[in-house]
């Protein structure tokens, strides 16, 4: 921990999500005055388990409502913005692309425009995705790779990348782009994703479901290391030469879906459970993983967790979560806290 964020006024979109909730918690622990944008109220989320509603200022609204964003930055005299909010579920984007485009593209240009109009904003990080790169034969992807997104979610994130660069080059906005590998960690309540879904199945003694054919290869990146990456990048934006730049963040934990499933089952103490492979997934990139050499070289950033360490912490979060849900269903009080 450092004193950099002490008393700084920070705006976090997506503060109820996986990355945003842990980022908000960390900023508060480091002394920042955090203001968060909240659309939906999800009492079982990590946002509540961390006690964040009582530790930060909340602005109710939606990214697509520009007036809400401008009011928040103005009234709370925001100095730094972390834009992590997005519709992140790929199957939903494929089935109903318009809400994804609204949130991820319009929401991003709204946030950039609001930041542009408030000169007090001295640093902004847009949280993009490795999906912006689309499909390339050369692996791992580095920041010189073209953005070749072609499916709805991927395109929505690539558009956000280009909008961020536009606002830097046209208006000198001090913004940078983070592209993280597949995030995992406690607090992801989308159980259709491989990590939380497999953990829940293991803890309930059920066979986990693999919706693809199991051969897709991805980077798996612990959320606490992603928080470190975003904070490191934001702090580095005192260096004007980094404005408009993109940075990959990954721990280089590359696994096929079958391999990560087996490692999750081992971390949960249920290696005996045999996955059910449904082979239903469509519009997926076969292999995708990142090089973080630029972040290490330019920012001095290094991930702190092994894959095994991250999975153990994540399994424990879901163990506590499921036990708390059982107590709540039985009418017993549920403990909460960081």
Q: Known catalytic residue: 289?
A: no
Q: List Cβ neighbours of 297 (8 Å cut-off, separation of 6 or more).
A: none
Quick one: angle between helices 307-329 and 194-204, nearest 10?
60
Q: Tell me how far CA of residue 300 lies from CA of 292, 309, 312, in angstroms.
A: 11, 22, 26
Taking the mean position of all CA atoms in its chain, how far away is CA 270? 28
Q: Burial code of 148-160, b = ≥16 C-beta within 10 A, e = fewer?
A: ebebbbbbbbbbb
- Give the number of other Cβ atoms within 10 Å of residue 332's Cβ: 10
SS3 258: helix
Catalytic residue among 153, 167, 220, 318: 153
Query: For residue 141, what is the DSSP state?
Result: B
**Active-site positions?**
153
């Amino acid at each position: 921990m450092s004193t950099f964020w002490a008393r700084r006024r920070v705006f976090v979109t997506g503060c109820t999500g996986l990355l945003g909730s842990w980022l908000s918690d960390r900023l508060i622990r480091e002394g920042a005055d955090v203001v968060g944008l909240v659309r939906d109220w999800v009492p079982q989320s990590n946002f509540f388990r961390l006690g964040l509603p009582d530790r930060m200022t909340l602005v109710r609204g939606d990214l697509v409502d520009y007036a809400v964003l401008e009011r928040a930055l103005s009234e709370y005299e925001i100095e730094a913005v972390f834009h992590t909010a997005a519709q992140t579920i790929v199957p939903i984007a494929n089935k109903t692309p318009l809400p994804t485009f609204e949130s991820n593209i319009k929401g991003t240009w709204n946030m950039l425009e609001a930041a542009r109009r408030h000169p007090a904003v001295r640093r902004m990080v847009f949280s993009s995705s490795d999906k912006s790169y689309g499909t390339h034969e050369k692996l791992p992807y580095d920041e010189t790779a073209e953005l070749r997104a072609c499916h709805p979610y991927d395109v929505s994130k690539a558009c956000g990348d280009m909008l961020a660069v536009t606002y830097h080059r046209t208006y000198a906005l001090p913004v940078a782009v983070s592209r993280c590998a597949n995030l995992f960690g406690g607090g992801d309540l989308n159980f259709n994703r491989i990590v939380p879904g497999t953990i829940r199945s293991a803890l309930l003694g059920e066979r986990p479901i693999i919706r693809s054919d199991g051969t897709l290869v991805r980077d798996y990146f612990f959320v606490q290391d992603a928080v470190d990456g975003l904070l490191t990048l934001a702090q580095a934006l005192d260096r004007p030469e980094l404005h408009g730049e993109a940075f990959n963040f990954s721990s280089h934990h590359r696994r096929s879906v079958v391999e990560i499933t087996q490692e999750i089952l081992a971390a949960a103490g249920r290696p005996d459970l045999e996955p059910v492979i449904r082979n239903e997934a469509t519009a997926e990139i076969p292999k995708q993983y990142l090089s973080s050499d630029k972040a290490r070289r330019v920012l001095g950033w290094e991930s702190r967790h092994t894959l095994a360490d991250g999975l153990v912490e994540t399994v424990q979060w879901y163990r506590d979560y499921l036990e708390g849900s059982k107590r709540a269903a039985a009418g017993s009080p549920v403990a909460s806290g960081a």
